């Protein structure tokens, strides 16, 4: 059992010491009362917190079906302001968070290009975000810099104005809110089939550089007897450290390159695109056709299985598959908005108000 350390002491550590901590200790420093204050890693969530977030998201989406419900949600955080600092290209994640803020009444502002900030004048990204913390109550950030969200969260935790940071994608390392929406999609898809426990989940595509795969794989360790399959070209296979995490958790997994052979065995297929924006000059392209889901694959996919994709899609899933009821990627996108509303509500401690409204008006 891991020894619990004092979160306040952890937050006061200098960055060069904090950076070297185990991720479990960092998660303690970034959480408050069992819930994330800064949302940086998937390791900050246990099964109880995941199930609570999923319940909250479902309550919110049902409350939002009526005008009185929308008015209730809009009043919850109308006194707060959010900065969406997205210096890495994004449309789905950005708009999903923007809409989530609007549902809760937060007033959103945005920076989508570092060239429009004082970073163009030589200011550090850390100083830029420290400045933004003077004007806003929440920063939602997406950056190509690996570990940058963690660094900013540590910086603000030890400042005189600590405001929450939500990591909306950080370099090649983590994408915790994508993993949350993926868990929510799995939970809703299998709610009549004993939930996520005991399911087989296959990851396909760029597993080495795809941060969504690592984040979801990590969250799945909170569920019982979930078997994971990593299927791709050996050059794009999942990194050893991700497998070490599964080994420590006692998770059964398979590493292979036989895509078609595993389709009939699994309950969920998580397709991903090739992350060629990280390619180096001279890299040999991978034959993605071997790892693409085609219409004929629907015939060997289990009747109760689902097909997922974090988007954007290229040729990994044929558009002819979109009409199949097992295709969940468009639902994933909408689920992303609701789970992000739930996360922001949890961050600002208004979840209980939402649950109370639901019980009194809709339960």
Rounded to whole angstroms, what are the CA distances from 222 to 194, 211, 281?
A: 15, 18, 39
State both tokens at 296: 């004929």
Which residue in 93, 128, 185, 232 is the catalytic one? 93
State both tokens at 345: 């509500």
Q: Which residue carries 């005189």 as its tokens?
A: 160
Given a cut of 50, whether residue 340 has pLDDT beyond it is yes
pLDDT at 124: 84
Annotation says 142 is catalytic: yes
In the DSSP assignment, the letter for residue 277 is G
Q: Which residues contact 232 (CB under 8 A, 6 or more apart)?
A: 203, 204, 205, 206, 207, 238, 257, 291
Annotation says 248 is catalytic: no
State both tokens at 41: 């890693």
Annotation says 211 is catalytic: no
Banded model confidence at residue 211, pLDDT cuts 50, 70, 90:
confident
Which residue in 55, 92, 112, 265 is the catalytic one? 92
pLDDT digits (tens, 9 = 90+) for 277-302: 555 555 556 777 889 999 999 999 99
Domains of the chain as residue ranges with CATH: 7-175+335-346 (3.40.50.1370), 176-276+288-330 (3.40.50.1370)
Banded model confidence at residue 12, pLDDT cuts 50, 70, 90:
confident
The more confidently predicted of residues 35 and 179 is: 179
Whether the CB-CB separation of 314 and 273 falls below 8 Å is answered with yes
Annotation says 92 is catalytic: yes
Q: Which residue carries 């809703």 as its tokens?
A: 188
Within the chain, how many helices (H) and strands (E) appear?
A: 14, 11
pLDDT digits (tens, 9 = 90+) for 341-360: 999 999 999 999 999 999 99
Question: 32-63: string of b/e by CB count within 10 Å (b at 16+)?
Answer: eeebbbbbbbbbbbeeebbbbbbbbbbbbbeb
Given a cut of 60, whether residue 129 has pLDDT beyond it is yes
Question: 235-268: string of b/e by CB count within 10 Å (b at 16+)?
Answer: ebbbeeebbebbeeeebebeeeeebeebbeebbb
Query: How much is the average pLDDT of 120-149?
Result: 86
Rounded to whole angstroms, what are the CA distances from 353 to 152, 211, 338?
A: 30, 33, 16
The more confidently predicted of residues 350 and 312 is: 350
291-299 contacts at long range (C-beta below 8 A, 24 or more positions apart): 291/204, 291/205, 291/231, 291/232, 291/233, 291/259, 291/316, 292/316, 292/317, 292/318, 293/204, 293/269, 293/317, 293/318, 293/321, 294/318, 294/321, 295/320, 295/321, 297/260, 297/263, 297/321, 298/324, 298/326
Banded model confidence at residue 28, pLDDT cuts 50, 70, 90:
confident
pLDDT at 24: 83
pLDDT at 1: 40
Annotation says 52 is catalytic: no
pLDDT digits (tens, 9 = 90+) for 62-101: 999 999 999 999 999 999 999 999 988 788 899 999 999 9
Average pLDDT, the chain: 90
- Bridge partner list, 271: 204
Lowest mean pLDDT among 140-144, 181-185, 276-280: 276-280
Which residue in 4, 65, 67, 121 is the catalytic one? 121
126-130 contacts at long range (C-beta below 8 A, 24 or more positions apart): 126/151, 126/152, 126/155, 129/85, 129/155, 129/156, 130/155, 130/156, 130/159
The more confidently predicted of residues 1 and 34 is: 34
The more confidently predicted of residues 14 and 4 is: 14
Which residue in 142, 209, 309, 340 is the catalytic one? 142
Helices (H), 77-161: 92-103, 125-132, 148-157
Q: Rounded to an integer, what is the distance from CA 327 to the centroid of its chain?
A: 20
- Name the residue among 216, 261, 250, 255 with its Cα closest to residue 232: 255
pLDDT at 118: 55
Which residue in 175, 209, 211, 297 is the catalytic one? 175
pLDDT at 285: 65
DSSP letter string, 65-82:
TSHHHHHHHHHHTTT-EE
């Amino acid at each position: 059992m891991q020894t619990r350390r004092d979160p306040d002491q952890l937050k006061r550590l200098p960055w060069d010491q904090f950076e070297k901590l185990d991720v479990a200790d960092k998660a303690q420093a970034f959480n408050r009362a069992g819930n994330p204050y800064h949302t940086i890693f998937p390791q900050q969530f246990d099964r109880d917190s995941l199930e609570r977030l999923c319940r909250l998201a479902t309550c919110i989406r049902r409350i939002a079906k009526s005008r009185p419900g929308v008015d209730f949600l809009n009043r919850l955080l109308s006194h707060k302001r959010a900065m969406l600092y997205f210096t890495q290209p994004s449309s789905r994640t950005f708009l999903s968070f923007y809409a989530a803020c609007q549902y809760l009444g937060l007033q959103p502002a945005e920076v989508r290009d570092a060239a429009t900030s004082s970073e163009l004048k030589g200011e550090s990204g850390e100083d830029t975000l420290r400045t933004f913390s003077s004007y806003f109550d929440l920063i939602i950030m997406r950056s190509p810099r690996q570990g940058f969200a963690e660094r900013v969260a540590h910086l603000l935790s030890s400042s005189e104005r600590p405001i929450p940071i939500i990591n909306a994608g950080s370099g090649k390392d983590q994408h915790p809110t994508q993993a949350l929406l993926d868990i929510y999609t799995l939970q809703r898809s299998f709610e009549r089939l004993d939930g996520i426990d005991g399911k087989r989940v296959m990851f396909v595509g760029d597993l080495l550089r795809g941060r969504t795969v690592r984040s979801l794989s990590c969250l799945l360790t909170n569920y019982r007897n979930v078997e994971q399959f990593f299927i791709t070209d050996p050059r794009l296979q999942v990194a050893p450290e991700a497998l070490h995490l599964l080994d420590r958790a006692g998770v059964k997994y398979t590493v292979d390159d036989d895509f078609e052979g595993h389709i009939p065995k699994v309950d969920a297929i998580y397709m991903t695109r090739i992350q060629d924006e990280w390619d180096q000059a001279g890299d040999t392209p991978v034959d993605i056709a071997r790892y693409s889901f085609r219409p004929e694959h629907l015939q060997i996919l289990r009747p109760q299985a689902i097909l997922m994709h974090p988007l954007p899609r290229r040729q990994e899933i044929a558009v002819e598959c979109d009409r199949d009821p097992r295709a969940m990627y468009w639902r994933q996108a909408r689920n992303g908005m609701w789970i992000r509303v739930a996360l922001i509500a949890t961050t600002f401690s208004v979840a209980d108000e939402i649950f109370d409204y639901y019980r009194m008006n809709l339960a």
